[in-house]
Amino acid sequence: MRQRHLSVALALVVVVLGAAGPALAQTDEIQVYTAEIADQHVFNLTWHNNFVANGNTTPAFPGAVVANKSWNGVPEWAYGVAKWFEAGLYMPLYSRDNEQGWGLNGFKLRALFVEPDAADRTFVYGTNFEFSVNAKRWDASRFSSEVRPIVGWHLNQWDIIVNPILDTEYDGFANLDFAPCTRLAFNPSKSVAVALEEYDDFGPIKGFHAASDQVHQLYGVFDLTGKAVDVEFGVGVGLTSASDKLTFKLILSRDLNKVSPPSK
């Protein structure tokens, strides 16, 4: 069964990576995937928001949303199809900047394949696939995709998670954009975590950008698992001249139809 799941995931990698190109847009989702998914037959809603308090003032391409002082976000609707598969829909993607005001940026479909019961395992892995339909203001390409492998370790109170992401715009293997993210978290309890997360964009695999033109951002993150809603808050600082200098992120998550066990 496990080999069949991996075969499906590898086949999707081949299909998606058959044609790809660099990503030219900022992001609505700032999150490291841990391989944990919604329980089977459970709907989950995650609301992503980030505010670029001090960012790039030059658009990534003509007509693009300007990062500086922009507010970006999206509701993420997810459903646990199986113990090893979660399907997701991001809609509506939205942003506001000082140049264009509020606007819609498109939508995304997601398929996440993981090793079941990731929270209870020492070693976890999975692969996420996203297909995006983009508004002109959000991306230079009408269609784009993401392939996000997930590798991680739960070591007592410590978590180490790596997502070596490849962003694609369907114009050749050489133009795949390498944009990994990493999370190191300390969990003093089951409901609280403090973490360092790094988000990078090295550029196309055919030749990475010069160091000063690469994006590297370091976030301090606080996670709280609550009875009604889970909260993740983070503050990110840019480490290179090409990076946004100061960004805040807030992620709220809640299972919509999960029945809690009766209290004793």
- Concatenated DSSP letters of 168-209: E-SS-GGG-EE--EEEEEEEEETTEEEEEEEEEE-EETTSPP
What's the structural domain count of the chain? Answer: 1
Per-residue pLDDT at 262:
62
Average pLDDT on 6-33 reads 54
Confidence (pLDDT) at 261 = 63
Q: Is residue 26 part of a domain?
A: yes
- Work out the average pLDDT over 132-160: 96
Q: What band does 259 get if pLDDT is binned at 50, 70 and 90?
A: confident
pLDDT at position 22 over 90: no
Cα–Cα distance measured from residue 197 to residue 221, given in angstroms and rounded to the nearest whole number? 7
Domain of 184, CATH number, reads: 2.40.160.40
* Residue 260 forms part of a structural domain: no
Residue 171's pLDDT is 87
pLDDT digits (tens, 9 = 90+) for 154-206: 999 999 999 999 999 998 888 999 999 999 999 999 999 999 999 999 999 99
Q: Is 50 exceeded by the pLDDT of residue 20?
A: no
DSSP state of 67: -
Show Cβ contacts of residue 15 under 8 Å, excluding neighbours closer than 6 positions: none
Write out the residue range of the structural domain in which residue 177 sits: 2-255
Please indicate, yes or no, if residue 264 is contained in any of the structural domains.
no
For residue 219, which amino acid is it?
Y
The lowest-confidence range among 8-17, 101-110, 198-207, 251-260 is 8-17
pLDDT band at 263 (very low <50, low <70, confident <90, very high): low
Location of structure tokens 């969990």: 187
Tokens describing residue 119: 């929270």
**pLDDT value of position 177:** 96
Q: CA nearest 73: which of 103, 107, 28?
A: 28
Among residues 38, 49, 42, 37, the alpha carbon closest in space to that of 74 is found at 49
Q: Is residue 262 part of a domain?
A: no
Q: pLDDT over 90 for what percent of the chain?
A: 84
The reply to whether 263 falls in a domain is: no
Q: Are 139 and 25 in contact (CB under 8 A)?
A: yes
